[in-house]
Amino acid sequence: MQPRPFKVLGHRPHPALTDFPIVLFTLAWVAEVAYRVVPGRVPGDWPEWLLALGLLAALPTAATGLWDYICLPSGHSAQPTAVRHLALVAAALAAFGISWILHFTKGPSIYTLLLGTGGEILLLAGGWYGGELVFRYRVGVDPQGGGPSEPQGD
């Protein structure tokens, strides 16, 4: 028996939840860069707090995304794209998690900057594949609801 997708108010929550960790991780990276570019103007613990909040926000996001993956029918044409999305985002979370641990134990360093930069690149690639799942393969799109209408010329 195929598991049923989790929905809130008729919608899968994963796409809406992704905005929170993406913004928090990106702000952490910006704070990490700013800490080096304008020393003394950006506290060194900002990236640490933003990473912690991003990791917390990633928990329900990852849980709902994993459930959406489990609900994907076996042999679905989107499966390879879903695996790429999952792997890239998991690698990004690992990079951000390691960066947070280093921040927490040793403070900002070149390693936290490199991990944050790598995490951002992985997150960007993973997000691209997430968009592919929705817009190309229509994963999570209600078949009765129709798709977005094509722009109409005047």
pLDDT for res 101: 98
Query: Which of 24, 42, 20 lies closest to 33, judged by CA?
Result: 42
> Mean pLDDT in each 10-residue stretch from start to end of the chain (154 residues)?
79 92 98 90 89 99 96 94 98 99 94 98 98 92 63 46
pLDDT for res 152: 46
pTM of the prediction? 0.88
Which one of 1.10.10, 1.10.287, 1.20.120, 2.20.25 gives the CATH number of domain 14-135?
1.20.120
Residue 114's Cβ-side half-sphere holds a number of Cα atoms within 13 Å equal to 4
Residue 95 in contact with residue 51, Cβ under 8 Å?
no
